[in-house]
Amino acid sequence: MARFKLLVEYHGTPFVGWQRQDNGASVQGCLEEAIFKLSGERVTVTAAGRTDAGVHATGQVVHFDLDKDFTAERVQGGLNFHLKPHPIAIRAAEAVSDDFHARFSALGRSYLYRIINRRAPLAIDADRAWWVAVRLDADAMHEAAQVLLGRHDFTSFRAAACQAQSPDKSLDVLDVTRIDEEIRIVAQARSFLHHQVRNMVGTLKLVGEGKWNAERVRQALAARDRSAAGPTAPPEGLYFTGVKYPSPFQGNRL
């Protein structure tokens, strides 16, 4: 038996999310079906992090096991063939030791949230970013974002359906930058609560509009109450961009 690690990219709009569900196509389900077509084996694919419906990924990492003898190159090429026409691509594949686990071996995860900040509606990026027509102050958003760094009880930024055992998380990076019409929000942590990034972005948008300031964000965090923070940003602006692993598992390409 061999364990394979994949670096996966997908456009999340047509999917009900990463996790296999009965109410529509999922990224996990499409990958498992492609693996069956390639190998004849029914497997379970495990991801570094689940993404919601409409959320994209450029650096999702997954693993699965095969009984048959396959090279990593054949796995990558065969899966990309069988995944057509789904908007999923295997960017890299490698064989790893059986003690690697896409989720539990991870030391950190990275997300990007894209806001297109202009008066004109979106055409090309309509399902790839959040369109905000009112001018946002990205510098004020970045200043307020720093309030959230460190270890905190993030209940105010946690979805009601979150299944994490504890709301305590350590947020390592939350940077807000503007490049012309685009505002990019980068978040990095060992792990995140359900909707945590989207809830933080929705709150920072209020700061960008001048409705909130950094102190109001601090108060929302301290309240430990979801109703005290801002709204949940839409899924189409969120991208799962990468996973950090210990050096034995980091690999040259993944």
| 153: annotated active-site residue | no
Of 52, 65, 172, 175, which one is the catalytic site residue? 52
Q: Measured on CA atoms in the order 123, 124, 130, 132, is the torsion positive or negative? A: negative
Q: What is the b/e burial string over 83-118, where b = at least 16 CB atoms within 10 angstroms of the residue's CB? A: beebbbebeebbebeeebbbbebbebbbbbbbbbbe
- Residues 112, 75: contact at Cβ < 8 Å? no
Query: What token pair was written down for 172?
Result: 């390592």
Rounded to 10 deg, the angle between the 72-82 and 27-39 helix axes is 120
Q: Which residue has the tokens 């980068």?
A: 186
CA 241 to chain centre: 6
Supply the residues annotated as catalytic. 52
